[in-house]
């Protein structure tokens, strides 16, 4: 399937990596469904998509809520009849805290958004893609999903979980014409990291700088395209060599 004229569904699209992927897929001729909890950010992304002459809609939803996920998926299915690309990306960070001091509330929320949100998205979107016997899904994990990450225990656990879901989905659905991969960015300059020191060389690895959202979006668009047609179940680090 070429991306042109296809339908892309993107969560966490109101900001950062999700916004950048939304704009790039719109540029490639896709109709983009912007999903975010943040109404202002979501409407802004939709405005940018429309300014570029592309089509899209915004749906406000909390990815951690079953009824919201059911609603955003059924809205897309009813409006467009299909989902060609799903970027399962919404996520939150937690406050840097030693594990024994990590509060139960913070742990529950991070797992609810980052892991349960990714699971619910997969659960509903895979049904649609199974019906059409085609589709591509890219889940956003993190380098925190493939290596130890001090002070971010809940976040790291949620992203290891996203890696697990990706591998399971890939082996269960590859034979049905659906490819599922995950990306693992290192540090990326977005709203999520605006309060962090992003120039800390230890955090950035050999390239000694954080990524821009566009550099992550380039890889996501490649994974979404036919050029990545043999990639399924891959856990793709985009970290400037941090985990090498
Ligand atoms: P971002 O700029 O904060 O964008 C995330 C978007 O998701 C925000 O608009 C946020 O809204 C939204 N969101 C949060 N909770 C949500 C929920 N329950 N339902 C729906 N939308 C929700 O962050 P980003 O850096 O682009 O992050 C995108 C993904 O990349 C996340 O999964 C993150 O874990 C992952 N990641 C980021 C980095 C990095 O260094 N930035 C590195 C590795 C992985 P609010 O603004 O209202 O919260």
Asked if residues 34 and 57 have their Cβ atoms less than 8 Å apart, the reply is yes
Note the pTM of the prediction, 2 decimals. 0.98
Could you tell me what percent of the chain has a pLDDT over 70? 100
Span 4-32, pLDDT tens digits: 899 999 999 999 999 999 999 999 999 99
Locate tokens 């991306």: which residue?
3
For the CA atoms of 144, 212, 235, 28, what is the dihedral angle to 10 degrees?
150
Scored b (16 or more CB within 10 A) or e, 154-174 reads bbbbbbbbbbebbbebbeebe
Q: What would the mean pLDDT of 150-163 be, rounded to a whole number?
A: 98
Mean pLDDT within 205-210: 94
- Measured CA to CA, the distance from residue 215 to residue 146 in angstroms comes to 20
Name the residue of 9, 10, 11, 15 whose CB sits within 8 Å of the most ligand 1 atoms, as the mutation to test its pocket: 15
Does domain 7-238 fall under CATH 3.40.50.720? My reply is yes
pLDDT band at 1 (very low <50, low <70, confident <90, very high): low
CB atoms within 10 A of CB 219: 19
3-state secondary structure the chain: CCCCCCEEEEECCCCHHHHHHHHHHHHCCCEEEEEECCHHHHHHHHHHHHHCCCCEEEEECCCCCHHHHHHHHHHHHHHHCCCCEEEECCCCCCCCECHHHCCHHHHHHHHHHHHHHHHHHHHHHHHHHHHHCCEEEEEECCHHHCCCCCCEHHHHHHHHHHHHHHHHHHHHHHHHCEEEEEEEECCECCHHHCCCCCCCHHHHHHHCCCECHHHHHHHHHHHHCHHHCCCCCCEEEECCCCCC
Alpha-carbon torsion angle 121, 154, 162, 55, nearest 10: 40
Between these two residues, 2 and 227, which has the higher pLDDT value? 227
What pLDDT, in 10s, does the model give residues 72-101?
999 999 999 999 999 999 999 999 999 999
Query: Using a 6 Å cutoff on CB, does residue 231 contact ligand 1?
Result: no
Residue from 13, 24, 33, 36 whose mutation best tests the ligand 1 pocket (most atoms within 8 A of CB): 36
Mean pLDDT of the chain: 97
Q: Determine the pLDDT at residue 200.
A: 81
Output the pLDDT for position 204: 87
Rounded to 10 degrees, what is the CA torsion of 131, 24, 201, 160?
A: -10
Work out which ligand 1 atom sits closest to the CA atom of 41.
9
């Amino acid at each position: 399937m070429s991306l042109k004229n296809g339908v892309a569904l993107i969560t966490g699209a109101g900001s950062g990596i999700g916004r950048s992927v939304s704009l790039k897929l719109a540029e490639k001729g896709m109709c983009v469904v912007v999903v975010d909890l943040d109404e202002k950010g979501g409407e802004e992304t939709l405005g940018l998509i429309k300014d570029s002459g592309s089509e899209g809609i915004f749906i406000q939803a909390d990815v951690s809520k079953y009824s919201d996920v059911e609603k955003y998926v059924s809205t897309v299915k009813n409006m467009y009849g299909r989902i060609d690309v799903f970027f399962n990306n919404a996520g939150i960070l937690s406050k840097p805290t030693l594990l024994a001091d990590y509060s139960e509330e913070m742990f529950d929320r991070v797992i609810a958004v980052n892991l349960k949100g990714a699971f619910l998205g997969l659960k509903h979107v895979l049904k649609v893609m199974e019906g059409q016997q085609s589709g591509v899904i890219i889940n956003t994990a993190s380098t925190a999903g493939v290596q130890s990450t001090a002070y971010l225990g809940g976040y790291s656990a949620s992203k290891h979980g996203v890696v697990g879901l990706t591998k399971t989905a890939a082996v269960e659905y590859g034979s049905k014409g659906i490819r599922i991969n995950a990306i693992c960015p290192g540090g990326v300059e977005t709203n999520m990291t605006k309060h962090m020191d992003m120039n800390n060389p230890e955090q950035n690895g050999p390239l000694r700088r954080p990524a821009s959202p566009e550099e992550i979006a380039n890889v996501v668009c490649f994974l979404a395209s036919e050029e990545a047609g043999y990639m399924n179940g891959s856990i793709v680090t985009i970290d400037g060599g941090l985990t090498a």
